[in-house]
Structure 1
Amino acid sequence: MEFDFIYNSDAKRYSLKLSSEQLALQCFLMDEFERRASAYQSLLEQLQRLNAQSQYQWDGKEYRLTVQASEVVICHFSLLQEGSSSIELDPEQDLELDQSQLYAECGLEDLLHLVQQWQQFLPA
């Protein structure tokens, strides 16, 4: 997974840039946490405890992170069927919404590497 970290010294703002197919992951990392290294520590520790058969779910304000068998899915709550943990992709909604900001997949190792590098870039 390719990524870039950016610090705008004029605005004193940290940002993360991922590929277009990973925009949901980028939004998840940027919107669900404060931009301090310590804000990601709890998530990182929980992810590091997982093994190849583990299942894990983390619900944020707007996104759900799900890990199953070392595969990570980031999904906006708008794609989840009410009262269910399953993802319901509506073909008509696909035409209207930019799904790239609502859904992304990656491997657990890739996510761990990204979060660790992002933590090193951010202030404590």
Structure 2
Amino acid sequence: MEFDFIYNTDTKRYSLKLSSEQLALQCFLLDEFEHRASAYQGLLEQLQQLKPQSQYQWDGKEYRLTIEASEVVICHFSLLQGQGSGMMLDPELDLALDQSQLYAECGLEDLLHVVQQWQQFLPT
């Protein structure tokens, strides 16, 4: 997975750029956490403890991170039906919404690598 980290000296803001297929992951990492390295520590520790066949779910303010058998899905709550723990996409919303910022998939190793590198880039 390709990524770029940016620090804007004028605005003193940190930014992360991922490919268009990974915009939901980019939004998840930027919107769900404060832009400090320590804010990602809990998530990183949980991810590092997962075994290849583990299941994990993390519900943020706007996104759900689901991991099953080392496959990661980032999904905006607007795409989920009901409040159940299972992830079921609403077919009507699926057609009506631009999913680029709402849904992304990647491998656990890729997610770990991005989060670790992003954490190192950010101030403590």
CA distance in 1, matches of 2:119, 2:76: 23
- For 1:117, the equivalent position in structure 2 comes to 117
CA distance in 2, matches of 1:68, 1:94: 22
1:64 paired to 2:78? no
**Residue identity in the other structure for 2:25:** L
Tell me, what secondary structure is at the counterpart of 1:75?
strand
> How far did residue 18 of structure 1 move?
0.4
Task: Write the deviation string for residues 7-37 of structure 1: whole angstroms up to 9, x where unpaired.
Answer: 0000000000000110000000000000000
- For 1:88, the equivalent position in structure 2 comes to 88
Q: For structure 1, list consecutive stretches of 5 or more residues without a partner in the other structure.
A: none
% identity of equivalent residues: 84
What is the aligned length?
124
- For 2:15, the equivalent position in structure 1 comes to 15
> How far did residue 79 of structure 1 move?
1.0
CA distance in 2, matches of 1:82, 1:108: 26
Question: Normalization by structure 1: what TM-score?
Answer: 0.95
> How far did residue 90 of structure 1 move?
3.7
- For 1:30, the equivalent position in structure 2 comes to 30
- Runs of 4+ that moved beyond 4 A: none
